[in-house]
Structure 1
């Protein structure tokens, strides 16, 4: 379980599970999300919400993991642009750790 800060002053935070990160990876939710300027603002959060909504609407199979991510993280009351930026940074760190672990496993 990871904790991210969701506002600048540090008074709000959110718990992010390994399953949440795996869901983000499974559906490639952060791919092509941020514009070339690299700024994460409310419009980026809105774009993510619309992308997830569209994914859920178009899916025919069970998407409980995506729904859990929405309820627990994306549509959480504390999720703002700052929190999304922290989530993206956590995801990048987590993904790098996953790749390092895979490489170590392959070497053995």
Structure 2
């Protein structure tokens, strides 16, 4: 479980699970999300919400992981642009750590 700060003053936080990060990875939710200016604002959060909503409606079957991500993170009362920026930074760190672990695991097997 990871914790991100969701406002600049640090008075609000949110728990992010490993499953949430895996869902973001599985559906490539952050890919092409941010414009070339690199600014994460409320319009970026709205774009993410629309992308997820579209995935849920277009996909047949069980969307439990996407729905859990929506309930636990994306549509959480504390999620604003600042929180999304922190979530993106957490995701980047998580990806790097995962890739390092994979590389180290591959070297040990040789």
Q: TM-score, normalised by structure 1?
A: 0.99
Shift of 1:61: 2.1
Contiguous gaps of at least 5 residues in structure 2: none
Q: CA–CA distance in 2 between the matches of 1:102 and 1:19? A: 18
Shift of 1:48: 0.1
Secondary structure at the counterpart of residue 4 of structure 2? strand
Q: Does 1:40 align with 2:33?
A: no
Cα-Cα RMSD: 0.4
Shift of 1:51: 0.1
Q: CA–CA distance in 2 between the matches of 1:11 and 1:63? A: 32
Residue equivalent to 1:8: 8
Q: CA–CA distance in 2 between the matches of 1:93 and 1:6? A: 17
Q: CA–CA distance in 2 between the matches of 1:11 and 1:70? A: 22
Shift of 1:27: 0.3
Residue equivalent to 2:104: 104
Q: TM-score, normalised by structure 2?
A: 0.97
Q: CA–CA distance in 1 between the matches of 2:87 and 2:72? A: 13
Q: Does 1:82 align with 2:82?
A: yes
Q: Does 1:17 align with 2:17?
A: yes
* Moved >6 Å (runs of 4+): none
Shift of 1:63: 1.1
Contiguous gaps of at least 5 residues in structure 1: none
